[in-house]
Amino acid sequence: MSTAATLILIQQYMTRYLLSTILTVGTLGNLLAIVVFSKKNSRKNSCSIYLAAISIFGSIATWWAIPPLINALDHFDMVSYSLVLCRIRGYTIHASSMCFRYTLVLLCIDRYASCHPRATIRALCRPQIAYRSINILVIFWLVGSSHLLIWESIENNRCGVYGLYGQIYSFYNLVFVGIIPILSMILLSIPLMKNLRQIRSRVHIQDAGRQLQRRDVKLMKIVLVEMVVYMLCSIGHPLMLIYLNIINNLGIPKSTEQRQIESFMNFITMSLLLYLSYNTPFYVHFFTSKTYRDEIKQSIMELFNERRTIKRNNVRIKPILSLVTEAKQ
């Protein structure tokens, strides 16, 4: 079996099993994160609002991206034959994934502001500011992604961006998907780590202040780990775009094997790792924060208790209804 055929087979297996696992496990994690961070107490914290929004955007991007890829392995691929569906899918994935990335940047800014010495900067860490920022972000990217509804097209039974627009889109992706969010997170991570060390080094603090600082330390830990995970999953995307642009502009002839290797690397960096990044936030929170694990357990227990209460109420109502029916007869 040739290298090209082997890579095609590996990519099919990865799409069928790895992407299916990401879809299932990631959806479960995102739903649990939304439940925890949408609680009444959590909504009083701006950081929790951003974390809930990240899980929502990640779920939307995942469900529009992965199921059509898995379906296309064994069934008719509607996306590659319907221009309307091709453009709607591309637009939705792009808009939701951009909201995911830049909400993560807003989260980093929020954590940086939370430990800033100036009170005016710390005042930015309010739920009202978080809701307003997310709403502006959503409107911006819903409008900013509309170019895909006009110029995305189908060539050789493949939905994508081609020609001059494809080249412009590659540069646009390089800047807004790769450079800006990753560079912003790197620049914000430096003062975040510095503040984290300063908070840990403080000893003479009041009890109330200690509790606040403990919470800030935990949230900063979560944000820092999430930033690292996102950067590891996303760094390959701009690098692959740079490579493809250089190779295409030089006009170097490519063999069939080289084309397939590039296609496989494109799948890894621009599909698999990016989709993985949309579904890691819950597990980052779960493995870095004991408080978060306790909240998950509490949420699950509350759901079970609610179901038990409903069943008990139904059991009590049935005899009453039967007595009423007998009295009428």
Using one digit for the tens of pLDDT, what is the confidence trace for 70-101? 999 988 888 988 999 999 999 999 999 999 99
Section 227-238 average pLDDT: 84
Confidence of residue 313 (pLDDT cuts 50, 70, 90): low
Section 295-312 average pLDDT: 70
Joined tokens for residue 242? 């740079």
Q: What is the pLDDT of residue 212?
A: 47
Section 6-27 average pLDDT: 93
- pLDDT tens readout for residues 28-55: 999 988 988 888 777 788 888 998 999 9
Average pLDDT score over the chain: 83
Section 104-126 average pLDDT: 84
Q: What is the pLDDT of residue 204?
A: 44
Confidence of residue 232 (pLDDT cuts 50, 70, 90): confident
Among 170-184, 217-231, 258-272, where is mean pLDDT lowest?
A: 217-231
Cα dihedral sign, 78-80-82-84 = positive
Among 25-39, 213-227, 230-244, 248-262, where is mean pLDDT lowest?
A: 213-227
The answer to whether the CB of 13 falls within 8 A of the CB of 273 is no
Confidence of residue 315 (pLDDT cuts 50, 70, 90): low
Between residues 19 and 239, the one the model is more confident about? 19
The answer to whether the CB of 50 falls within 8 A of the CB of 103 is yes
* DSSP annotation of 44: G
Separate counts of helices (H) and strands (E) for the chain: 15, 2
Confidence of residue 199 (pLDDT cuts 50, 70, 90): low
- H or E stretch at 288: helix 281-288
The answer to whether the CB of 12 falls within 8 A of the CB of 75 is no
The answer to whether the CB of 236 falls within 8 A of the CB of 268 is yes
Q: What is the pLDDT of residue 217?
A: 64
- pLDDT tens readout for residues 97-110: 999 999 999 988 98
The answer to whether the CB of 227 falls within 8 A of the CB of 185 is yes
The answer to whether the CB of 189 falls within 8 A of the CB of 108 is yes
CA distances from 57 to 87, 97, 154, 202, 283 (A): 19, 7, 26, 37, 16
- pLDDT tens readout for residues 135-171: 999 999 999 999 999 999 998 888 988 888 888 888 8
Confidence of residue 248 (pLDDT cuts 50, 70, 90): confident
CA distances from 28 to 133, 192, 328 (A): 27, 30, 48
Joined tokens for residue 69? 């890829």
Section 15-38 average pLDDT: 92
CA Rg value for the chain:
24
The answer to whether the CB of 177 falls within 8 A of the CB of 238 is yes
Name the pTM for this structure. 0.84
Residue-wise DSSP of 116-175: -SSHHHHTT-SHHHHHHHHHHHHHHHHHHTTHHHHH-EEETTEEE--HHHHHHHHHHHII
- Length of the chain measured in residues: 329
Confidence of residue 255 (pLDDT cuts 50, 70, 90): confident
Confidence of residue 229 (pLDDT cuts 50, 70, 90): confident
